[in-house]
Amino acid sequence: MGALIISLDFELNWGIHDAFTLEEYGENILGARLAIPKILQLFLKYDIHATWAIVGMLYCKNKNELLACLESLEIPYENETLSAKYNLPHVGEDEQQDLYHYGNSLIKIIKEIPNQEIGSHTFSHYYCLEDGQRIEHFEKDLQAVINLKEGITSLVFPRNQVNLEYLKLCAEHGITAYRGNEDSWIYGPYIQKTNTKIKQMLRLTDAYINLTGHHSYKLEKERAHPIINLPSSRFLRPYSNKLKVLERLRLQRIKNSLTEAAKNDEYYHLWWHPHNFGKNIEKNLQFLEEILKHVDYLKRKYNFQSMHMRDIVDFISLNEKN
């Protein structure tokens, strides 16, 4: 049995404050708030299971609560602009006043839709490979996630900075699965200075033309130690007006890989950020629906499934018992 895995990195401005100003990217963030309910309605229509990897700070109801949570965390990156604490001067008092940094109302909407898993994108959008960070700092961040009392078992590392040395610690704190990177040198974990222009161009090209393979996979035993690795297969890039003539290729690239996964009883892991849909919302939703229509066809033809990250762990545990 093969399956589509979907995970979304829900972060609002906490995920991009070090890369863009609100003037540059604020429209995308506000658009994400409009896109999320519409994405959920598509998931409901096509019976899609998805993992929402949420930055823990989005739970905070006001700035006092946020400051109290961050006070217990150490985030001493050598590049201090990466830290959530560096962004605090731009944060308003609560969600009514600040739609860029609070997300409690959206989290409630996600929880209302069946088959949506609440996962973690760490509490402070913690970067696990940046200079200055250490495992004891990461553990405090994990503890803040546990304090949310969501029973979280799935983790997505911010910027996909998978630190293999931290997986044992994750297991000790109840994490059973994480999203790893595609098996290609252009997709390996990176920090800003190692994210070269050539890698960026190759990843962009690979979204339209099959350069690196389908990246669907079976779950081998080594993926489960110390926690289960559910690698990414494809980042769902947003619609681009500049590249709109290539949209058919982008869609076919994903559909071909999904068909390959379904035929071979493999998993295919698709992911994106809600703010990627924040501009050209309807175009992005239409594109997503074309993917989900194809998944629906594959369900009927090959018994292809839709599973979130915890579903996979539960499925593996059930098979091991049997």
For the chain, the domain total comes to: 1
Question: Between vectors from CA 189 to CA 146 and to CA 135, what angle results, nearest 5°?
Answer: 40
58-72, 156-170, 181-195, 249-263: which range is least confident on average? 181-195
Provide the domain limits for residue 296: 3-321
As a whole number, mean pLDDT of residues 4-15 equals: 98
Q: What is the per-residue pLDDT for 24?
A: 96
- The type of residue at 92 is G
What CATH number does the domain containing 15 carry?
Answer: 3.20.20.370
What's the pLDDT band for 246 if we cut at 50, 70, 90? very high
As a whole number, mean pLDDT of residues 241-268 equals: 97
At 107-161, the pLDDT tens digits run 999 999 999 999 999 999 999 999 999 999 999 999 999 999 999 999 999 999 9
- The type of residue at 37 is P
The answer to whether 57 touches 94, Cβ cutoff 8 Å, is no
> CA distances (Å), 5 to each of 106, 121, 144, 176, 195, in order?
21, 16, 26, 15, 26
As a whole number, mean pLDDT of residues 79-97 equals: 97
How far is 49 from 39, CA to CA, in rounded Å? 12
How far is 318 from 36, CA to CA, in rounded Å? 32
How far is 69 from 66, CA to CA, in rounded Å? 5
At 27-51, the pLDDT tens digits run 999 999 999 999 999 999 999 999 9
Q: What is the per-residue pLDDT for 221?
A: 56
Kindly tell me if the per-residue pLDDT of 97 is higher than 90: yes
Kindly tell me if the per-residue pLDDT of 25 is higher than 70: yes
Q: What is the per-residue pLDDT for 149?
A: 96
Q: What is the per-residue pLDDT for 313?
A: 94
Q: What is the per-residue pLDDT for 219?
A: 85
Average pLDDT taken over every residue of the chain: 95
At 177-236, the pLDDT tens digits run 999 999 999 998 878 778 889 999 999 999 999 999 999 999 875 566 789 999 999 999
How far is 281 from 221, CA to CA, in rounded Å? 40
Query: Which residue stretches of 135-212 are H helix?
Result: 135-146, 167-172, 197-206
